[in-house]
Amino acid sequence: MYNGIGLTTVRGSGTNGYVTRNLSQVRNHKDKVDYKSEEELKKLDAMISRTPNSELLEHERKRKVELKCIEMQELMEEQGYTADEIEKKVSTFRQMLIDKEGISEKVIEKDEMGRPM
């Protein structure tokens, strides 16, 4: 028994005898409302509606171009073209798609671990 609370003996009670607080009790207290100022609201809106990353969009365009080139290569292989013909036609097709999409072929210098410098 602790401060008059609990059992005098735990024998036959099915408990270990420790007195703990009730964590499942719902307390009815009102939380403090923190109203935002106009500047904070504008800053939050700017963070939410930011522009997409241009590098990710560029990568997605390059991916689509390569996918079309691979599909063309597989189609030509099924039709029985030689490897040299396929390589030439796919490379011209790739260049045409790159020019059409406006993808820039920037060469980024990388260190020995492959990270951009």
pLDDT at 1 over 60: no
- For the segment 92-101, the average pLDDT, to the nearest whole number, is 89
pLDDT at 68 over 90: yes
81: left (phi over 0), alpha (psi -120 to 50) or beta: beta
Write down the pLDDT at residue 108.
Answer: 67
Answer for the pair 65, 103: CB distance below 8 angstroms, yes or no.
Answer: yes
Residue boundaries of the structural domains of the chain: 54-101
**DSSP element (H, E) containing 22:** none
- For the segment 15-19, the average pLDDT, to the nearest whole number, is 76
Listed in sequence order, the residues at least 6 apart from 86 whose beta carbon sits closer than 8 Å to its beta carbon are: 73, 76, 77
Write down the pLDDT at residue 46.
Answer: 81
- For the segment 13-36, the average pLDDT, to the nearest whole number, is 75
pLDDT tier for residue 107 given thresholds of 50, 70 and 90: low
Question: Among 56, 34, 57, which Cα is nearest to 44's?
Answer: 34
